[in-house]
């Protein structure tokens, strides 16, 4: 394992060191806002101590990234494969257009989480957020799974405009202690999660629990809800040939 002290480093220098390290495991110490860490990483793992900058793990392609603190915006942008684990909070545009791999966030995530995620056959991205998520969650969702666990039992588990333009995939929301579900747009509807719904995320939930050492009882003391799109062809009837 190699340790890189990022103090005072420009992102280009830091990322070049990481890319050329030749070690399977790299730990970045004193990270303070350097962007694009782990971009397109195919193998190996990066542990970040401190706070990485925007676009951590963009186009991630199989590598593993662990952040011990908080992250900024655009974590896992257009991620293809691999795993990102964040022990703190994540910023806006988490997992934008993600198409594979998994992102687990222990804390909250910002606006526009999981916008336009997609899936193809067995390639199916997963985002699990432990706390709450901001507005525009899962906009234009075309595939994959987003789970917002609301483990602190907040009244609202997401902000406004959840699932606007959604035409594929599933959003799971967890409520407890009378927390309420968000208003949904006409493109989506919600039901209490069925056995089949839960089976779809069980393995990922188990992994999430063990990564963050959360009690199973705590998780399943709440109720789970599944948001699905009403149509996969929402625009077909919008047009007439000129």
> How many other CB atoms are found less than 10 A from the CB of residue 61?
17
- By CB under 8 A, is residue 8 in contact with another protein? no
Structure tokens at 20: 């050329």
Q: What is the nearest approach in angstroms of another protein to the Cβ of residue 202?
A: 22
- Rounded (10°) CA dihedral 171, 38, 204, 115: 0
Residue from 44, 131, 143, 222 binding another protein (CB under 8 A): 143
Reduced 3-state DSSP string for 81-129: EEEEEECCCECCCCCCCCCCCEEEECCCECCCCCCCCCCECCECCEEEE
10 lines the binding site for another protein (CB under 8 A): no
22 binds another protein (CB under 8 A): no
161 in contact with another protein (CB under 8 A): no
C-beta of 42: minimal distance to another protein in Å? 7
Nearest-approach distance from CB 135 to another protein, in angstroms = 12
Q: In terms of CB distance, is 44 or 143 closer to another protein?
A: 143
Q: Rule CB under 8 A: choose which of 2, 43, 120, 230 binds another protein.
A: 120
**DSSP-derived 3-state class of residue 76:** coil
Residue 237 in the binding site for another protein (CB under 8 A): yes
Instruction: Name residue 133's beta-bridge partners.
Output: 109, 158
């Amino acid at each position: 394992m190699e340790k890189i002290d990022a103090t005072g480093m420009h992102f280009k220098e830091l990322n070049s060191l990481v890319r050329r390290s030749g070690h399977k495991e790299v730990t970045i110490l004193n990270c303070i806002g350097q962007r694009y860490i782990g971009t397109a990483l195919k193998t190996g793992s990066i542990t970040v101590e401190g706070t990485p900058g925007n676009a951590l793990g963009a186009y991630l392609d199989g590598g593993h990234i662990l952040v011990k603190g908080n992250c900024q915006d655009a974590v896992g942008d257009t991620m293809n494969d691999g795993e990102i684990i964040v022990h703190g909070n994540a910023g806006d545009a988490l997992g934008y257009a993600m198409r594979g791999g998994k992102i687990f966030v222990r804390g909250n995530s910002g606006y526009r989480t999981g916008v336009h995620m997609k899936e193809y056959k067995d390639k199916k991205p997963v985002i699990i957020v432990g706390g709450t998520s901001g507005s525009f969650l899962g906009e234009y969702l075309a595939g994959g799974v987003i789970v917002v666990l609301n483990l602190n039992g907040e009244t609202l588990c997401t902000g406004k405009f959840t699932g606007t333009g959604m035409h594929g995939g599933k959003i799971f929301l967890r409520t407890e202690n009378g927390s309420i579900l968000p208003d949904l747009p006409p493109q989506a509807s919600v039901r209490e999660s069925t056995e089949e719904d839960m089976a779809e995320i069980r393995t990922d939930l188990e992994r999430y629990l063990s990564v963050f050492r959360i009690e199973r009882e705590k998780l399943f003391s709440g109720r789970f809800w599944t948001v699905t799109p009403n149509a996969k062809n929402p625009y077909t009837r919008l047009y007439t040939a000129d």
